[in-house]
């Protein structure tokens, strides 16, 4: 039934094919996912390898998780050939940026049509497939099982909404997911949800969140770091919508009371930087864009620094006397609270941390984070950590301890995969 519906959809797609061919971005993606020009990058010459491990990651977030996994594989099994696939152009671009040192090939994932999967299998010749986080396809799972190629779902996550969806058509998904050789879950919550769906039919274990392994601990003691010679600093990372507005107002109020302070605000979407700059200037604050400044933070004299560049937030958290994780005061699911924890910064976030619920709870329970429910609580907590930097550093040390406890997901994942597939050392 699934393949019949898929064939009908493919025929209907032919009607819009001419329009897609006119869009350069869609044209490149379409052809490569159909198997033509399938390889986006390949290491030359290809090293001699004992086994081929195929890692698949849907798009940007999953590819970033896969960086830790690929690095762990390269360290544990240096002779393995690693192929990374993604389903989107942005995912492929991210793989080029972050994974080329550790993988041997980057390519698009095929559409879930048996001939295309067979072609990809012939080209890659995998001994093991690792599916990262999401993107589970019925034909792909069935054919890999038919060819006796072990498949593991790693860094697996399942939201309550997704669980409800899977339950409605359990008769369809349960037999397919039971073809997996193993499932390594991000958290105990994810593990329990997956068990609710599959029972004990598939070996599974909580192996941790690979995104934590992407982050590197601060190489210095914060007390003796450049932060200690700077004005008390707030870093608001990955902020959305009204979070920008609230922080400008709160910061203006804090400066009136405490004097010399600095706010570094990194919007989730860089195109919002101009709007934030205008609002800060309207509030009477001195402000600059990151792109206008010298790179050395000790030279930053402005009261507000607006980040208009991607990929630097993790380093900026090292400057924070207190860090706020955006997307959490409004219902956006929050962002990764372990990024500021990795550098020993005290962490604040709002009530909406659904996407990182287990990590957020672990930080709160470990004394490394404070969950903020309203503006007054946010003001008072910021005031406390900015006025008493030693207390903030103590909370930051607890945050770092929680981070250290969660680090090592890549190694745990490979140990689990080794156990359930019998791969041994490739």
For 359-386, letters b (16+ CB in 10 Å) and e give bbbbbbebebbbbbeeeeebbebbbebb
- Summarize the confidence of residues 401-410 as an average pLDDT: 92
pLDDT higher than 50, residue 224: no
pLDDT higher than 90, residue 109: yes
- Summarize the confidence of residues 345-359 as an average pLDDT: 93
List CB contacts of 121: < 8 A, sequence separation 6 or more: 143, 144, 147, 149
With bands split at pLDDT 50, 70 and 90, how would you rate the model's confidence at 424? low
pLDDT higher than 50, residue 72: yes
Identify the pLDDT of residue 21.
Answer: 57
Integer Cα distance of 63 and 69 in angstroms: 10
Q: Which fold has domain 21-42+49-215+408-421?
A: Rossmann fold (3.40.50)
pLDDT higher than 60, residue 220: no
> Tell me: the pLDDT tens digits for 5-60?
887 877 776 676 666 555 555 556 766 777 776 778 888 766 566 799 999 999 98
Identify the pLDDT of residue 207.
Answer: 95
End-to-end Cα distance, the chain: 38
Give the residue with greater pLDDT, 363 vs 354: 363
Integer Cα distance of 80 and 102 in angstroms: 10
Angle at 364 between CA 361 and CA 367, to 5 degrees: 145
Give the residue with greater pLDDT, 223 vs 6: 6
With bands split at pLDDT 50, 70 and 90, how would you rate the model's confidence at 139? very high
List CB contacts of 347: < 8 A, sequence separation 6 or more: 323, 324, 325, 337, 340, 341, 363, 368, 369, 370, 399
From the list 357, 347, 344, 359, the residue with the least C-alpha distance to 401 is 344
pLDDT higher than 90, residue 345: yes
Integer Cα distance of 297 and 273 in angstroms: 19
Percent of the chain with pLDDT over 90: 68
Boundaries of CATH 3.40.50.11720 in the chain? 21-42+49-215+408-421
Half-sphere exposure of residue 364: CA atoms within 13 angstroms, side-chain side: 14
* pTM attached to this predicted model: 0.80
With bands split at pLDDT 50, 70 and 90, how would you rate the model's confidence at 242? confident
- Summarize the confidence of residues 77-82 as an average pLDDT: 92
β partners of residue 9: none
Residue whose structure tokens are 């206008």:
292
With bands split at pLDDT 50, 70 and 90, how would you rate the model's confidence at 310? confident
pLDDT higher than 80, residue 229: no
Boundaries of CATH 3.40.50.2000 in the chain? 222-406
Integer Cα distance of 61 and 357 in angstroms: 17
Identify the pLDDT of residue 17.
Answer: 63
Identify the pLDDT of residue 344.
Answer: 93
pLDDT higher than 90, residue 228: no
Question: Beta strand 39-42 with 182-185: parallel, antiparallel or unpaired?
Answer: unpaired
- Summarize the confidence of residues 326-334 as an average pLDDT: 93
SS3 94: helix
Integer Cα distance of 54 and 127 in angstroms: 8
Identify the pLDDT of residue 9.
Answer: 79
Tokens of 245: 């507005």
Identify the pLDDT of residue 328.
Answer: 96
Q: 125-134, 212-221, 312-321, 339-348: which range is least confident on average?
A: 212-221
> Tell me: the pLDDT tens digits for 153-207?
999 999 888 899 999 999 999 999 999 999 999 988 899 999 999 999 999 999 9
With bands split at pLDDT 50, 70 and 90, how would you rate the model's confidence at 254? very high
51 Ramachandran zone, left/alpha/beta (phi>0; psi -120 to 50): beta
β partners of residue 129: 54, 151
pLDDT higher than 70, residue 406: yes
pLDDT higher than 50, residue 412: yes
Identify the pLDDT of residue 41.
Answer: 85
- Domain spanning 222-406, CATH class: alpha beta
Identify the pLDDT of residue 190.
Answer: 92
Integer Cα distance of 150 and 203 in angstroms: 13
Integer Cα distance of 187 and 28 in angstroms: 36
Identify the pLDDT of residue 150.
Answer: 97
Identify the pLDDT of residue 32.
Answer: 77
Identify the pLDDT of residue 422.
Answer: 83
* Average pLDDT for the chain: 89
Angle at 409 between CA 174 and CA 57, to 5 degrees: 55
pLDDT higher than 90, residue 221: no
């Amino acid at each position: 039934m699934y393949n019949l519906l898929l064939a009908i959809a493919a025929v209907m797609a032919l009607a819009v094919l001419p329009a897609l061919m006119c869009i350069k971005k869609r044209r490149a993606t379409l052809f490569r996912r159909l198997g033509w020009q399938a390889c986006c990058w390949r290491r030359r010459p290809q090293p001699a390898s004992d086994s081929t491990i195929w890692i698949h990651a849907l798009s940007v977030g999953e590819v970033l998780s896969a960086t830790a996994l690929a690095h762990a594989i390269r360290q544990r099994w240096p002779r393995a050939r690693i192929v990374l696939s993604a389903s989107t152009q942005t995912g492929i671009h991210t793989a080029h940026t972050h994974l080329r040192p550790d993988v041997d090939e980057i390519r698009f994932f095929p559409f879930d049509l048996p001939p295309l999967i067979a072609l990809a299998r012939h080209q890659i010749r995998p001994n093991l497939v690792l599916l990262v986080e999401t993107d589970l396809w019925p034909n792909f799972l069935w054919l890999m099982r038919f060819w006796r190629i072990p498949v593991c779902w790693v860094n697996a996550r399942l939201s309550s909404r997704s669980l409800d969806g899977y339950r409605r058509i359990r008769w369809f998904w349960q037999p397919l997911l039971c073809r997996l050789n193993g499932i390594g879950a991000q958290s105990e919550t994810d593990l329990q949800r997956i068990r609710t769906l599959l029972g004990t039919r598939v070996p599974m274990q909580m192996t941790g969140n690979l995104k934590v392994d992407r982050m590197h601990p601060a190489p210095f003691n914060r007390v003796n770091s450049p932060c200690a010679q700077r004005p008390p600093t707030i870093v608001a990372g990955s902020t959305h919508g009204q979070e920008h507005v609230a922080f400008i107002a709160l910061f203006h109020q804090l400066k009136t009371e405490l004097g010399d302070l600095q706010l570094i605000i990194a919007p989730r979407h860089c195109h919002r930087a101009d709007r934030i700059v205008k609002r800060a200037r309207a509030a009477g604050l001195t402000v600059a864009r990151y792109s206008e400044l010298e790179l050395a933070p000790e030279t930053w004299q402005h009261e507000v620094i607006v980040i208009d560049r991607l990929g630097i937030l993790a380093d900026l958290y090292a400057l924070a006397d207190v860090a706020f994780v955006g997307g959490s005061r409004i219902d956006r699911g929050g962002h990764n609270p372990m990024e500021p924890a990795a550098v020993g910064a005290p962490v604040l976030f709002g009530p909406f941390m659904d996407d990182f619920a287990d990590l957020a709870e672990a930080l709160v329970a470990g004394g490394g984070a404070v969950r903020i429910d309203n503006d007054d609580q946010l003001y008072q907590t910021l005031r406390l950590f900015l006025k008493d930097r030693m207390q903030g550093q103590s909370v930051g040390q607890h945050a770092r301890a929680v981070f250290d406890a969660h680090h090592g997901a890549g190694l745990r994942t490979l140990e689990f995969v080794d156990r359930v597939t019998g791969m041994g050392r490739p």
